[in-house]
Amino acid sequence: MARIVLISDDDALRQDMRSLVTTRGHSMREQPARDACQVDCMREPPDAAFVDLSAAGEYGLAVIVHTRLHMPDTRIAVIDAGRGCGSLDRLARAVSLGADDFMKKPLLASDAADVLERLGL
């Protein structure tokens, strides 16, 4: 069972991810984007962090940097709404900072399942 944290203010996204993650036998902790930099407050580092860049923005990028520095074994996937050049810039920055994978909104269960597989979960 993997420990997963999801950083997002999007209720529908959290519900969809919770359903997928728990169906696969993993646990998921949800954290509002406004508290994104508190991901390290968990007693044990998560196996994976899903960061909603649409909600978390610059905080989400800070989470990636912090996670890479302090929890290098945690896998990171970012989620973005994918609207315009700003979105492409955020995704490129996220990958350059150490994100392992990404998904686009609206989130499809099959895409999320594929990302979990690619992350080894």
Which pTM was predicted?
A: 0.87
Residue 43: what pLDDT?
62
Higher confidence at residue 82 or residue 50? Answer: 50
Distances in Å between the Cα of 95 and the Cα atoms of 20, 58, 91, 102 are 24, 14, 6, 8
Residue 107: what pLDDT?
83
Q: What ranges do the domains of the chain cover?
A: 3-118
Band of pLDDT at residue 25, cut at 50, 70 and 90: very high
Give the domain 3-118 fold.
Rossmann fold (3.40.50)
Residue 24: what pLDDT?
92
Q: Tens digits of per-residue pLDDT, 40-81?
A: 555 678 999 999 888 766 788 888 898 898 899 999 999 988
